[in-house]
Structure 1
Amino acid sequence: MPDGCCSHCSDFGLVCTYVQPQRKRGPKNITIEELSKENASLKAENTSLKVKLLSLSLCSLCSRPLQSLSAQANSSSVFHRSTPESATTPPSPESPEEPPDEQDFTGDDLAERFGSFSIDSLKTKHFGSASTFALANNTLAMKENFLGRPLLIQSRRPLYWDVLPWEKEASNQGSDHVLKFPATDLIAALLDLYFTNVHPTIPILHRPSFERSVAEDLHWRDVEFGALVLSVLAIASRYSHDPRVFLDGEGSLSAGWKFAKQVLTIRQLSEPTIHKVQMYLLLTLYALGTSVPQLSWLFLGVGIRCLQQHGEFRRKPGAHKPAPEEEVWKRAFWSYVVLDRTNCVFLGRPMGLQVEDYDVDFPLEVDDEYWDWGFTQPLGKPSHMSYLVLHVRLCEILGGAMRRLYSSKKAKILMGWDGPEWEQHAVAELDSAMNDYVDSIPPHLRWDPQNLPQGTFFDQSAILHITYNHILIVIHRPYIQKNERPKGPVAFHLCTGGTRHHSHREYVVL
């Protein structure tokens, strides 16, 4: 600056106040060597603190000893848990074994950790990696590893460890509910109608064990199984002309209501069982045929929560032989997947089970009558269970179409599913998946007007192909009103063609 004055002050004739000379940056106050020493000191202190923390007493929940609790079979179950000897069979080629997530725990695992935890139903719950129980389990394992021995029993306060009396009363509420069943001959007739008309397409039950339990009058002793039986009777009533299934003075629209309304009045807070899960799915089916079909979405949601609480959305770790109880749970889960997709597209509501949330194996393609034969389907005899696997695969395509084409704008942006080019790519992928699916249908379920399937396979084939054409409409429906070529005309052509095929198959079935 000339004369020690900046240009601004010189132009305006002012006394310049910018007189402090510019100084060069000096050396840093702390050297790299000093920082390294400080960092090493902090690391040492951190390690010391960790050791001290591990040696301290943890919360009483984490201080329980390792105890082995024997599994308690459900009193109403007709199946037995598989024995330790059954864990020797390698997995099937269709379901290769994968290492389970390290942080996922079943109720049995945590029950062994927290042996004194007094809630009996703890073992029926599933705890994921984000749960507090998983954190406590890891903390306990770390402390035991550090000490080199199991933790000693410490005192606990029953007030905070035991289930409180009024909470026990709430969980048992409904167990003494008195159910009214029809005459024995009507029960037998309705069960036959159910297993003839409903079971082939929604195989959530195992017929031999279910009929055996009914013959043993379990529905009179177990309220949950009784509610399941009433749900079966309610649905079967839709196929019956017996006046005893109608309300007094009412017509066929009231079929089964006298059975269904008893189930709706049960308020039980007990843990989910297979009977309860099956009951909610059957209530979903029944509600779809009422004047308030939106109730089906609520029943479906409750059933899905029961499945998740029981951990049935995750693959069982390790290799093991098939077990009847496990197969029934798998049938229930995949039946919920099918209804979740079809019901949500019917109501236009979000799905409760996303494909990334589960990794369950498909049910074995073995008919009910061969479960006692080591789960071996006779060679050359197609299984009726092949239909369920095919239906699941088809409904997963439907779920993908709903998420990719009908999600909110926000969801599409977050997932990178936005823009016309992406939509064209998504529709092309879905069309390709549909074409691959048609090619994979086995001969006994293919729809050939000149050689239609017979018996149960006819009903299964009809539902698969009707669902297939409905999904084609779902995929291309958003583009019917778009004028740009070729998207609009092609979408219109595919939708009208799917409607014609859909109507033709329904006409043949009816």
Structure 2
Amino acid sequence: MSSTEEDNALAAPSSKRRKYPRACDYCRRKKSDGPQMPNHRCSKCIYKKIDCTYVEPLHKHFYPSSHVNALESRMQKLERLVKQLDPDIDIAKELDEQDAPSRPNPSTVSESSQSKRAFPLAGFPIRDQTEYEPSEDESELQEVNLIEEFGKVSLRPASYLYHGKSSSMVLLRAAKDLNNMCGKEKASSVLRDQSRLFPYSPGPSEEFRWLSGTCPDRIPPFHDFPPQDLMRTLIDLYFAEVNAYSPLLHEPTFRQCVSQGLHLSPGGFGPTLLLVCATGARWSGDARTLGSGTSASTWPGWKWFQQVEDVYRSVVAPPDVYDLQIRVLMVMYLQGTTVTHACWATTGAGIRIGVEMGAHRKKRYEDEHSVEGELLKRAFWILVTQDWGMAFTTGRPASIHDEDTDLPLPIECDDEYWTDASGKPTFNQPPGKPSKVSFFICYLRLMQVLAFAVRTVYAINKSRVQLRHGDQQWEERTVAELDSALNRWVDAVPDHLKLIPQREDGLFFRQSATLFSHFYLFQIAVHRPFIDKRKRESPLSFTSIMICLNAAKSAIRVLDELYRRIGTPLHRNVGTLFFAAMVIILHISSEKGAGRSHTLETEVKEVQKCMEMLRAVEQE
């Protein structure tokens, strides 16, 4: 019997009710649940009060294997043609990324690629969300509707947004899992038919609009860049004076992006380059770095910084690595101005953006190292160190604590060894070759000690009571633990960064002097609370006074050696000079009060050295 004859027989009147093996015509068009309902009348027909009919023929489509083989052969030929036009293209990767957002990602172009687009943030297969509008025929019983709504909720937004254990998103995910176990039998046909209609889970309904993906941030192209010769000089200065200590950017990739003109396109690389130039302008004597007018407009690089500040960024846009890099660079620039108070809010905003991206968790990074993941990791670590440093110098709570993060440390590999000749990430530092990144890793470990000190010996009384850490013995134990941590840190410093006066001038000498000057600064930080007059009754008082005084003199001696050999104590050591000078001034005042001023000539000379070095930094 043919398909048409079968359908006519189904529709013909009969004295006995037959069991229909198919849904009615309306249900087949709407993919509903006719065969499962009583009397073979589906919920749609009952709700709309229409008759179930079985007159439309069944259409079964079969494709012969020869047709499928011909299509596959045609695809292979097209792929070969594309390969001939662009030998470096990865077709499978391009097909996977065809729905990626239009905003360019961080400056991580493969060195072997000749295209002008930046790397996408690899390793996170995130599906795009599109707005979903329900049709007029989706009304069901109230209980089934509830389960169906949970089926529409997408828990994977268009850009990666981190949600922790207490998040309501996690609760929704649990509810969806519960639906899969408990609601499957009742609503199986609804959810199954919905998946046929919407195979890509297009997104939340009106009730869950707050879960929809955010709109992309369309950063306009920038045009007011420094002249080419000045730009090259400023980039060189940035990588020599800043990136060598805080390795935010991958130098080979960054320079390649500049040469390809990526900064002239919309996206985040343009403002990144402007801020690199603005930061590098601090060490340039070129008059073209100065603006016209008065006050801030005359600061070197201010005109490029202000361009970024005026347009960046949309608060509803999904974050990416450019956002972190730009926040770091803004703080680096502001630290060299008279408006350093603005660094606090800028760093806090960067920390929030990084946490939103999940940059503080190790699961955010793929198992195999990637250039994109390493840039994200380094940008967030630099923000964390900036935050902890300002929390100490301002006496304010940090935005994030060490126990809130479990991201790995940066890879100890110099920029030139990140990729092989083909552009594949290998991160293979040659054996026996000291890494320039070792400085930053050692500095991170030192900052962890400082962060712990700020949360313990500098804690307010309320925090101490809540933690039951208010007794005097607790202070002694904590200070002893911090001293032990500092001593262990010194033992772990690699040989090429150990403090050796005979070391040749060069980057490692500057890094070593900076590292150990901060070590002495953090020694002062641990013991400073106990040199106050109100703490003079503490058993730690006399010991802390001597440790702070010796640490201050040692820091001045290290930086004075650096100053005599290279002509500057480096701008990043200004805070150390200030604290060291203040400790010695306090000691001088104390000794004068006790009538022992005739023994203070050495201390006065130490303070004079600090003033001389501070003036040298001011003239840079």
Same fold (TM over 0.5): yes
1:215 is matched with which residue: 253, 259, 284? Answer: 259
What SS does the corresponding residue of 1:413 show, helix, strand or coil? helix
Instruction: Answer yes or no: is the 8 Å Cα contact 1:312–1:360 preserved in 2.
Output: yes
Deviations 1:347-367 (Å, cap 9, x if unpaired)? 221111111111001111111
Instruction: Answer yes or no: is the 8 Å Cα contact 1:277–1:306 preserved in 2.
Output: yes
- Equivalent residue, structure 2, for 1:490: 543
- Equivalent residue, structure 2, for 1:268: 314
- Equivalent residue, structure 1, for 2:480: 428
Instruction: Answer yes or no: is the 8 Å Cα contact 1:412–1:418 preserved in 2.
Output: yes
Distance (Å, rounded) in 2 between the aligned partners of 1:415 and 1:164:
38
Larger RCO (CA under 8 A, 6+ residues apart): 1
What SS does the corresponding residue of 1:350 show, helix, strand or coil? coil
Q: Output the aligned Cα RMSD.
A: 3.3
What SS does the corresponding residue of 2:399 show, helix, strand or coil? coil
2:405 is matched with which residue: 336, 354, 358? Answer: 358
2:467 is matched with which residue: 403, 415, 431? Answer: 415
Cα distance change of structure 1 residues 157 and 463 upon mapping to structure 2, 3 Å threshold: closer
- Equivalent residue, structure 2, for 1:30: none
Cα distance change of structure 1 residues 317 and 174 upon mapping to structure 2, 3 Å threshold: closer
Matches within 5 A, 1:93-112: 108=126
Matches within 5 A, 1:29-428: 72=100, 75-77=104-106, 78=109, 79-80=119-120, 108=126, 122-146=158-182, 147=184, 151-152=191-192, 153=194, 159=206, 175-176=219-220, 178-248=222-292, 254-266=299-311, 267-269=313-315, 270-316=317-363, 320-373=367-420, 374-428=426-480
Cα distance change of structure 1 residues 387 and 243 upon mapping to structure 2, 3 Å threshold: same
Asked if 1:457 corresponds to 2:508, the answer is yes
Distance (Å, rounded) in 2 between the aligned partners of 1:470 and 1:441:
17
Shift of 1:484: 3.4
Cα distance change of structure 1 residues 362 and 245 upon mapping to structure 2, 3 Å threshold: same
**Letter of the structure 2 residue corresponding to residue 246 of structure 1:** L
**TM-score, with normalisation over the residues of structure 1?**
0.74
Instruction: Answer yes or no: is the 8 Å Cα contact 2:246–2:382 preserved in 1.
Output: yes
Instruction: Answer yes or no: is the 8 Å Cα contact 1:277–1:303 preserved in 2.
Output: yes
1:476 is matched with which residue: 517, 522, 527? Answer: 527
Instruction: Answer yes or no: is the 8 Å Cα contact 1:205–1:328 preserved in 2.
Output: yes
Shift of 1:142: 2.0
Deviations 1:339-397 (Å, cap 9, x if unpaired)? 11112212221111111111001111111111113111101101111111111100000
Instruction: Answer yes or no: is the 8 Å Cα contact 1:230–1:260 preserved in 2.
Output: yes
Shift of 1:70: 5.4
Distance (Å, rounded) in 1 between the aligned partners of 2:438 and 2:415:
12
Cα distance change of structure 1 residues 361 and 474 upon mapping to structure 2, 3 Å threshold: same
Instruction: Answer yes or no: is the 8 Å Cα contact 1:337–1:353 preserved in 2.
Output: yes
What SS does the corresponding residue of 2:419 show, helix, strand or coil? helix
- Percent identity at matched positions? 31
Instruction: Answer yes or no: is the 8 Å Cα contact 2:221–2:264 preserved in 1.
Output: no
Asked if 1:503 corresponds to 2:549, the answer is no
Distance (Å, rounded) in 2 between the aligned partners of 1:202 and 1:234:
16
Distance (Å, rounded) in 1 between the aligned partners of 2:409 and 2:381:
8
Shift of 1:75: 2.7
Distance (Å, rounded) in 1 between the aligned partners of 2:373 and 2:276:
21
Distance (Å, rounded) in 1 between the aligned partners of 2:174 and 2:363:
20
Distance (Å, rounded) in 1 between the aligned partners of 2:248 and 2:338:
25
Long gaps (5+) in structure 2: 1-94, 110-118, 131-148, 421-425, 563-567, 569-620
Long gaps (5+) in structure 1: 1-68, 84-105
Distance (Å, rounded) in 1 between the aligned partners of 2:464 and 2:528:
18
Instruction: Answer yes or no: is the 8 Å Cα contact 2:520–2:552 preserved in 1.
Output: yes
After alignment, is 128-137 or 116-125 more displaced?
116-125
Distance (Å, rounded) in 2 between the aligned partners of 1:206 and 1:461:
22
Residue-pair matches, total: 416
Distance (Å, rounded) in 1 between the aligned partners of 2:464 and 2:560:
38
- Equivalent residue, structure 1, for 2:490: 438
Distance (Å, rounded) in 2 between the aligned partners of 1:452 and 1:161:
63
Distance (Å, rounded) in 1 between the aligned partners of 2:219 and 2:409:
33
Instruction: Answer yes or no: is the 8 Å Cα contact 2:359–2:377 preserved in 1.
Output: yes
Distance (Å, rounded) in 2 between the aligned partners of 1:183 and 1:110:
40
Instruction: Answer yes or no: is the 8 Å Cα contact 2:413–2:437 preserved in 1.
Output: yes
Distance (Å, rounded) in 2 between the aligned partners of 1:427 and 1:394:
15
What SS does the corresponding residue of 2:158 show, helix, strand or coil? helix
**TM-score, with normalisation over the residues of structure 2?**
0.62
**Letter of the structure 1 residue corresponding to residue 177 of structure 2:** A
Distance (Å, rounded) in 2 between the aligned partners of 1:497 and 1:343:
24
Instruction: Answer yes or no: is the 8 Å Cα contact 1:110–1:137 preserved in 2.
Output: no
**Letter of the structure 1 residue corresponding to residue 262 of structure 2:** L
What SS does the corresponding residue of 1:198 show, helix, strand or coil? helix
**Letter of the structure 2 residue corresponding to residue 506 of structure 1:** L
Shift of 1:257: 0.8
- Equivalent residue, structure 1, for 2:74: none
Distance (Å, rounded) in 1 between the aligned partners of 2:177 and 2:242:
49
Cα distance change of structure 1 residues 117 and 194 upon mapping to structure 2, 3 Å threshold: farther
Cα distance change of structure 1 residues 476 and 181 upon mapping to structure 2, 3 Å threshold: same
Instruction: Answer yes or no: is the 8 Å Cα contact 1:111–1:117 preserved in 2.
Output: no
Distance (Å, rounded) in 2 between the aligned partners of 1:332 and 1:115:
37
- Equivalent residue, structure 1, for 2:139: none
